Amino acid sequence: MIKKLLSNKLVKQILKFGVVGGLAFIIDYGIYTLLLQVFHIHYVISGIISFSISVIFNYILSIIWVFDINKKQTIKEFAIFVILSVIGLILNTIILYICVDKFHIHEQIAKIIATAIVMVYNFITRKIFIEQRN
C-alpha cells in the first residue's frame, strides 16, 4: 500500500516539494528572525527580504528536482515564475501584516502562519502554470 502510494507521481512531487519547502522555510525564517531580532528591521521589510531570498533557493530546487520542467527555461516560463512569486510575496506580506497588526499575533508566529498558507499557493500555482505538460 505505502509502496504503491509512493510510486504515485503526484505524491512524490508533494513529498519533494515538502522537502524543498522545508529547506526554503528554514532559510526564510532564519533570515527573517536574524533581520528582526538582531538587526531590528521592521517585520514587513524583514519578511520581504527573507521571502525573496528563499524564493530564489526554492526556484532552483523546484526546477532541478520537484517539477517536470524543461531544463532549458524559456523567458516565458521564468516570467510566469516571477509573477507567481510576486503574488506569493504580496500574499505573504498581507497575511503577515493582518496577523501582527490586526490580530496581535507575535511576528515570528505570524511568519509561520503566512508561510504555511503561501506554501499551498506556491505548490498549486507552480503545478498549474510552470510544470511541463506531457
Average pLDDT over residues 9-21: 81
Domain count, the chain: 1
The burial class, CB within 10 Å (0-12 / 13-18 / 19+), for 66 is: buried
Is 134 part of any domain? no
Is 112 part of any domain? yes
Using CA atoms, how far apart are residues 29 and 46, in angstroms rounded to an integer? 10
Classify 91 as helix, strand or coil: helix
Q: Please tell me the pTM assigned to this model.
A: 0.78
Residue 108, pLDDT score: 95
Q: Cell for 37?
A: 531580532
Instruction: State the residue range of the domain holding 30.
Output: 2-129
Over residues 74-101, the pLDDT tens digits come to: 677 778 888 998 999 999 999 999 999 9
Over residues 18-42, the pLDDT tens digits come to: 888 889 999 999 999 999 999 999 9
